[in-house]
A and B are shown apart, each in its own frame.
Chain A
């Protein structure tokens, strides 16, 4: 594919991500922070997010399997996850986290489990999307152009 087409594809893809609610303005903010001093800022942050989230999701799964569920701890984890997702602009993940926290307060096991599943789902979705986005970026970079912000 030539550069222009690649760029157009990139733009369309990104727009669709926003449109579908996967990302919000926070992501745009992140992109603004990227400059020549910090060329890989966005990638770094997103990678950190992936690591963090996976860890948290595992913790959550483990905690919910317990006999005596420590809701406080679960709440703490979910709070963390919510914070991270909002920091990078993963809107849908964040929304599920909010619901998750409500169930935690109610100490509703079923609800929590359901939410966990949802969170996992959303997370994997956003991860895939972001990875695709970064691939496209790479392609454009190697093709010699600069990707439109």
Chain B
């Protein structure tokens, strides 16, 4: 035994203490070994842990500490130097690692602490976000409610439904206890409770409109919290609980006039309604901002919906009115059409029915005039004739006027002799004028064309009417008729500013002025002159007869002729001047006037000879035979004479163009001859023209002649001119248009 390398520990004699140390060391080591295991286990489990290497370090530190304590177990007893070495190494390592760890922890712990602060911060943030999310959700819900409300409100155009729906939906959305609407009365001085949510039939409470709380609400566009004790909120009977908060908002009542085309409606309307909303009494709920916003939006929507409803009502009313008017107009139009039709039928019938008897009366009266009558009878017949002429004129005037007004009268244009028209008028008026001892003078301008194109008949009628009036209304003095071609400076008359005639190459304006020195017309009567059936009430006119239509008809004719007519007078007793202008056409230069519508035989002298015209004359009377032959020979005809019907039939051939036969001799049947001739010549162009010469003008002879197929009848004795025109006519027309 000598030197053992074992180190003798300073064994205290206390065994128990050593035992406890031994055990504690063991447990410490155990704990120290298990802590990293736990750490590793849990860190592995967690996904995020930024300080892994710290853990490693710490683990190493713990493990080494554990190892140290473990190795300590062996040092309680005799241990070898190796164990001591190991112990020392372990301790050294442990010391190093622990110092490093201690140093590191200085850095790490603040970090860890800050993590904690951040965590707290995040938690707060999360809580805040949660809160906000809650708010947004609420708002979105509110928005949904508003949309639904709006949809409900706007889905109807009935005012009552709109308001009711608003209240119901608001009540539901906001869980209100009561919701009421106060509308302004007609006078605008009070608000009346019109609609409530809970009460079915609100009694008509009214409050004056000028309460301060109401003014406050009306002056702001937001929902305003008001006291539950103010009059508008005291709708329900007071409960035992604290009344809930009340909010009031204004609802503008817009009118159609508020909507300008280019502006949005200014809320400067005077009229508002008041909507009052009450939260439930015992809920201690508060009005949230979003709820107030909801209420405001709803109020606006309601305003719009109400105005739409009002507009619709208005337009429906207008449409109904229009429809009614339409129906009434249609009825009126149909009635008018019926009336016009009835009138036209009446006129058409009357036209014929009235004219026929008139014609008979006039014709027979004039025939009666021709016969032998005693003076009284003659007077009577003349009166009949005059009256019936007046009546006939009246009928014609009335019919003309109605045709003129219908526009169915058209001008009968033709070329006519203007001078002749004036002369004719003069001739017609001279007798009456001379009876009244009036002097009539006619002045035709030198540049007035002799021929013109226009409606001759109506122009003459107009001039005659105007001149006739002048004569009618003058008891003494003179009448002057002046006709000129209107020059451009005269065309624009200051008295007729609305008349703008435009002269052209083919037309000229005839200006006729008729001046009389008669009773004149007072200025206030002048406008009435041209109206139908109106007559001035002066003494002179009452006895003058006439229907008052004359000037009205003249005016219409003149207008048809694109002209103008007016009357001037200086006053009663100072005479008057009638002036009219009409538009007439200028005919082309012709040697002879064309008379297209003249039914009479033209009096132009045609060929003075009919050379070689083969004519057959049959007359029993030698003298008249000779005379007729002489006539025809003078006209250059080749005349064959026969004195009996047999001879006539024998001689007549297709060479003879005309056969003159005397038919009034009794005992000789000229008619028989005519029939035979007709039979002989079947072809019309071969047959000669057969003319009867007779001394009788009676109708029977004429009818007989026409019946047997004669082409004409001439009355003996025949003059040369007559024979000439007869032959011309016959050869031109193959028929005689006149029988005389």
Q: Which residues of A contact B (CB under 8 A)?
A: 25-26, 29-30, 32-33, 35, 37-38, 41, 44-45, 48-49, 52, 72, 75-76, 79-80, 82-89
Q: If A25-B719, A29-B720, A45-B626 touch, does A84 touch B621 (CB 8 Å cutoff)?
A: yes
Verify B665–A76 contact, CB threshold 8 A. Answer: yes
CA distance A87 to B617 in the complex (A): 15
Chain A residue with minimal CB distance to B630?
Answer: A33
Instruction: Give me 11 other A-B pairs in contact (C-beta within 8 A), A26-B719, A33-B630, A45-B627 excluded.
Output: A33-B633, A45-B630, A48-B622, A76-B665, A76-B667, A80-B621, A82-B695, A86-B695, A87-B716, A88-B623, A88-B627
B624 interface contact, C-beta 8 A: yes
Q: How far does the Cβ of A27 sit from chain B's closest Cβ, in whole Å?
A: 10
* Interface residues contributed by chain B, number (CB under 8 Å): 21
CA distance A44 to B633 in the complex (A): 14
B717 interface contact, C-beta 8 A: yes
Verify B717–A86 contact, CB threshold 8 A. Answer: yes
Q: Which of A33, A52, A87 has the most CB of B within 10 A?
A: A87
Chain A residues with Cβ under 8 A from B665's Cβ? 76, 79-80, 83
Q: If A29-B719, A33-B630 touch, does A87 touch B666 (CB 8 Å cutoff)?
A: no
Verify A79–B634 contact, CB threshold 8 A. Answer: no
Q: If A33-B634, A76-B665, A80-B665 touch, does A52 touch B622 (CB 8 Å cutoff)?
A: yes
Chain B residues with Cβ under 8 A from A38's Cβ? 630, 633-634
Verify A52–B623 contact, CB threshold 8 A. Answer: yes
Verify A83–B716 contact, CB threshold 8 A. Answer: yes
CA distance A41 to B634 in the complex (A): 10
B631 interface contact, C-beta 8 A: yes
Chain A residues with Cβ under 8 A from B620's Cβ? 80
Q: How far does the Cβ of B350 sit from chain A's closest Cβ, in whole Å?
A: 46
6 A-B pairs with least C-beta separation? A84-B623, A87-B624, A87-B627, A83-B621, A33-B630, A33-B634
> Can you show 22 pairs from A to B with CB atoms below 8 A apart?
A30-B627, A32-B720, A33-B627, A35-B634, A38-B633, A44-B626, A45-B630, A76-B666, A76-B667, A80-B665, A83-B621, A83-B623, A83-B624, A83-B716, A84-B621, A84-B622, A84-B623, A86-B624, A86-B716, A87-B716, A87-B717, A89-B717
CA distance A41 to B716 in the complex (A): 19
Chain A residues with Cβ under 8 A from B630's Cβ? 30, 33, 38, 41, 45
CA distance A118 to B623 in the complex (A): 21
CA distance A82 to B666 in the complex (A): 13
Verify B717–A48 contact, CB threshold 8 A. Answer: no
Chain B residues with Cβ under 8 A from A41's Cβ? 630
CA distance A112 to B737 in the complex (A): 39
Q: Which of B627, B633, B665 has the most CB of A within 10 A?
A: B627
Q: How far does the Cβ of B384 sit from chain A's closest Cβ, in whole Å?
A: 30
CA distance A32 to B483 in the complex (A): 43
Verify B623–A75 contact, CB threshold 8 A. Answer: no
Chain A residues with Cβ under 8 A from B624's Cβ? 83-84, 86-87
Q: How far does the Cβ of B700 sit from chain A's closest Cβ, in whole Å?
A: 16
Q: Which residues of B608-666 are within 8 A (CB) of A?
A: 620-624, 626-627, 630-631, 633-634, 662, 664-666
Verify A33–B631 contact, CB threshold 8 A. Answer: yes
Contact mask B207-241 → A, CB, 8 Å, 1/0? 00000000000000000000000000000000000
Q: Which of B620, B622, B665 has the most CB of A within 10 A?
A: B622
Chain B residues with Cβ under 8 A from A49's Cβ? 623
Chain B residue with minimal CB distance to A44?
Answer: B626
Chain B residues with Cβ under 8 A from A88's Cβ? 623, 627
Chain B residues with Cβ under 8 A from A84's Cβ? 621-624
Chain A residues with Cβ under 8 A from B720's Cβ? 29, 32-33
Verify B633–A87 contact, CB threshold 8 A. Answer: no
CA distance A80 to B622 in the complex (A): 9
Verify B717–A26 contact, CB threshold 8 A. Answer: yes
Chain B residues with Cβ under 8 A from A37's Cβ? 633
Chain B residues with Cβ under 8 A from A89's Cβ? 717
